[in-house]
Amino acid sequence: MIRVGSAALVLLLATMAVTVVPSIEEAGAVNIPTPWTVTAGPLTKVTDGQSISINVTSPVENPVAAAKAQICRAGVDYLPSVESDPDPDFAIGGVNCPSIPISTSADLTVTDVGVAANATTPAGQTFSMFVGVGTVEWQDTAAGEQSLTCDPLNPCALVVEVRGTDNAGDFRWIPTVFTLEYLTDDPIAGCGGPADGIISAGSSDALLQAWISTTLDQCKRPGAQSGAATAQSFAGEGAAMDSFSRKDIDLVYSGLGYDPAAGLGLGTRSDPHVARESVAVPIAVDAAVLAIGNGKAGPNGNKVPYSDGIELTLDEVTAMITGGPQQMNDHLGPIAARNPELATTGIFNQYSPIVVGGPSEAEATSWIFTNHLDLLRPDGWKVPDSGAFGPEAGMSRVADASLALAAPSFQGVLNLYSGRTILDKTIKTQGRDTYGGIYSIVDRATALALNMSPIRIENANGDFVGPTPESMSAALPLMERTTDGRLMPVPAMTASSGEQPYPMTFVVYAIAPKAALVDMACVPRATSQKLLADWLTYLTNEGQASLGQGLEPLPPALQAEAATAIAQIGTGSPGCTPPAVLGAAGSASIPPVLPAPTAVAAYRSTAPSASATVIPQAVVDAELAAVTAELPEFVRASSTTTTGSLIGLLIVFALLVIAAMATAGSTGLPDRLRKIVGAGK
């Protein structure tokens, strides 16, 4: 099953094919000459769950019988076989190759027998393998306990064994070895730790790869600060906006900001929030899409993704999202006739736990997509008038950022999931011969990261338009301005000539506080203020080259707007007065604070239990950095009296305990800390 092509993830990998030729040495292994050629890629910046494409081509006079691939120890000179099986150095569970996958997202081994029929064709035989990041241990009966780690500090070997007739005329297995180099996916560690005054930020997980890439790039530039500039949480756009309103974080990335129609950042009726005075800085261009995942049978029998040419009308998309696949019977024939790819596989993969899905978190993409259908197909944007929908049957739907909390609900219609990892695993765990579409409302960056294909949807003029760089660029001049200067999509946008705009294009904004940053004692955070300005200046200039596939860079006009907006950050009043604290000599002073490394060391020395659910290191480090950044604020805020000092010590203790809890899967630490300290804020 192959998951590479036009929708391949580029942010976290450099898509490259490496041709094996005689006498190439890689990581200590020498690939011996063979009549056939093996290529594989990508081999650098590999991530957990990455699909590696492997191709075997062979002359007609030297047919091959089979090919096997697995991840094994690097630095080994793998030997060809002398009998019918590969050499023992390639054995599963042997000295070099583990008996269990490196991670839950990885394959243990892949055997492709189709190579016998297709390797001698011009295109050869292509198959794929999912590789992982992590450490595994196994028991080798001959040599005892074994361990293998594949991560940014420990390259591993992709060993491809091909069975065929070699140059000497012997029919045997011959290994070809590639070195896999893994992406550093923890930018805080990759930058040497958090910067002084690190900025706490939040967003949808659609920006995870962009944060990793830009953070690692920025901290290594000449003249940059020491350490990672931002610590970012990925609990969802709505949750991030609420945290920003509560002043729990310094920065939030959003496609909507404080848009009154969407209502992000305003909390709930029982816990309302007030919009924080802010500045919207454009950083990238994205699009809300309906994407299709899984795939079809390729020319050589392996699964390949659907093309980016799948087309659906507005009526078909409306029926799918408002009623689910069960309400699509009247549309299946026209869809199959228009899309031969779907006709051969079936339009839906009914065996998948996600057939038509969307994020349960409040996201800009959900609001933009549902608003698009609400405005262009109001008569169809209703709950199907069927007894299966109970009292909600026939009710009109509205635009909603939170599909999980929508009224009327999407229960029994959409398969909602929390976090794109679930969608990713759902697609990847489909069998290699299990075809049919898996659909989801996502943003373009997420679709391409998960190797899904954005669907071309009919616009108001009846033209089918997909989110290409050209159609997204064409949409920008046709957007409308909000009262606070943001650009918002116009569902009915079309062009009379030239490139048709993709109407669900949107601008991703960094929503930053207009007021100066202060700690909880109202003391200016001068280091953080400069770091915030430096970070956003980088992000809207040099950082545009590191956004990755799916996020399009800003055009010059929006870059100029970004520079103007950045100049406004920090110009407002914090609305509080720093308290004077009487020092030992009778002068006003700020009491000493616990150094940040103390909290970090406390976290580092706490090991998870064997049964703990360990969250990704990048997320743990980001949350911990945010806690560390707030530590002085808590101490200052509770140290204005002798009693307050004791409270401050208790808070420090609580911080260390909660930091240790991070290894057991705890997230959202800043919010939890404030609940513990209560009036200490």
Split the chain (681 residues) into runs of 10 and give each run's mean pLDDT: 30 30 38 91 87 92 92 95 89 94 90 87 89 93 88 94 89 95 88 96 95 95 97 96 97 97 92 95 98 86 86 98 93 97 94 96 98 97 93 96 96 95 91 91 95 96 97 98 95 94 98 96 96 98 94 98 98 82 40 33 31 43 49 36 39 40 38 36 33
pLDDT, residue 580, reads 62
Measured CA to CA, the distance from residue 643 to residue 646 in angstroms comes to 5
Measured CA to CA, the distance from residue 62 to residue 300 in angstroms comes to 19
pLDDT, residue 299, reads 67
Measured CA to CA, the distance from residue 549 to residue 9 in angstroms comes to 7
CB 501 within 8 A of CB 478: yes
Give burial (CB, 10 Å; 0-12/13-18/19+) of 341. Answer: buried
541 three-class SS: coil
Question: Phi and psi for 589 in degrees, rounded to 5?
Answer: -155, 170
pTM (2 decimals)?
0.75
Predicted confidence (pLDDT) per residue in 145-194, tens digit: 999 999 988 999 999 999 998 888 889 999 999 999 998 878 999 999 99
In the structure encoding, which two tokens stand for residue 210, read together? Answer: 């962009």
What sign does the dihedral 256-291-384-315 (CA atoms) show?
positive
Closest by CA to 654, choosing from 602, 609, 590, is 602
Closest by CA to 512, choosing from 253, 214, 298, 310, is 253
CB 641 within 8 A of CB 598: no
- Look up tokens 């490139």; give the residue: 499
In the structure encoding, which two tokens stand for residue 138, read together? Answer: 């196994």
How many Cβ atoms sit within 10 Å of the Cβ of residue 308?
A: 20
Cis peptide leading into residue 408 (ω within 30°)? yes
